[in-house]
Amino acid sequence: MQIDITTIQTLRAKTGAGIADCKAVLEETGGDSAAAEKLLRERGTIKAAKRADKETNEGIVDSYIHAGGSIGALVMVTCETDFVSRSDKFKALAHDIAAHIAASDPSYIRPEDIPAADLEREKEIMRNQLTNEGKPGEMIEKIMEGKLAAWYQEACLLKQKFIKNEDISVEELIAEHVASLGERIEIKRFTRFGLSGGNRSCGIM
């Protein structure tokens, strides 16, 4: 079927994917923009997984200072080549992530980074809460799976909803850029500063 250029450009603006990729998935989904967007994200995640063993020794450190100067963030975002690290699209991604960190105040980059002591403390708080609510013992562990997933979305940068598009997570945002730039992308480290608190540093040295 014939897909009009406006629909293609709208999908490209939302996902960052190339014109050809947007046109292809729109044709594949019969012009259904929502289905095409979902398909692009799924393929981006697959491409990201395939590049998981690639070295990311290039990249940039970017910063964001919120208006008024009361909150700021530094983030190190890496990729495979200096060609990609110099691209406007990669630089814009790093800046968006820095702004997101300043606004959303994550404690960790990913669930795997959570120290065992922090995770056990959070689980104990949840167990006590559910016990005090009278939940039966056999249900508590099942309920906690959902509670932990919700906590990860709050505490872990990659699981948080992206501030500029809450339909996707930061992890999905990165997967979209992996798909369009063709390289593995990692958030290696971030530091957040706030006059009213929320100062923290997280990641790989």
Q: What is the CATH number of the domain that holds 73?
A: 3.30.479.20
pLDDT of residue 47: 64
Mean pLDDT estimate for the chain: 88
Four-CA torsion 95, 181, 171, 58, nearest 10 degrees: -60
101-119 burial: b if 16+ Cβ within 10 Å, else e? bbebbbbbbbbebbeeeee
pLDDT band at 59 (very low <50, low <70, confident <90, very high): very high
Residues 137 and 161 in one domain: no
- Taking residues 96-125, report their average pLDDT: 94
If asked whether residues 77 and 22 sit together in one domain, one would say no
Cα separation, 94 vs 75, in Å, equals 7
| 162 and 147 assigned to the same domain | no
* Mean pLDDT, rounded, for 65-90: 93
- Choose between 179 and 94: higher pLDDT: 94
Whether the Cβ atoms of residue 157 and residue 109 lie closer than 8 Å to each other: yes
* Structural domain harbouring 23: 5-50
In total, how many domains does the chain have? 3
In angstroms, rounded to a whole number, what is the distance separating the alpha carbons of residues 52 and 187? 13
Better pLDDT: 140 or 91: 91
40 has a pLDDT exceeding 80: no
* 47 neighbors 186 (Cβ within 8 angstroms): no
What's residue 49's pLDDT? 64
User: What does pTM read for this prediction?
Assistant: 0.74
CA distance 21 to 141: 43
> At which of 50, 68, 83 does a domain end?
50
Tokens representing residue 161 in the block: 């909803």
Of 37-41, 58-62, 180-184, minimum mean pLDDT range: 37-41
Whether the predicted pLDDT of 15 surpasses 80: no
**63, two tokens:** 């910063």
52 band by pLDDT with thresholds 50, 70 and 90? low
Q: Is residue 81 located within the same domain as residue 171?
A: yes
d(CA 157, CA 163): 11
Query: Predicted confidence band at 10 (pLDDT cuts at 50, 70, 90)?
Result: confident
The two structure tokens encoding residue 133: 């609510």
pLDDT average, residue stretch 115-139 = 90
Residues 94, 24 share a domain: no
Mean of pLDDT values over 51-57: 77
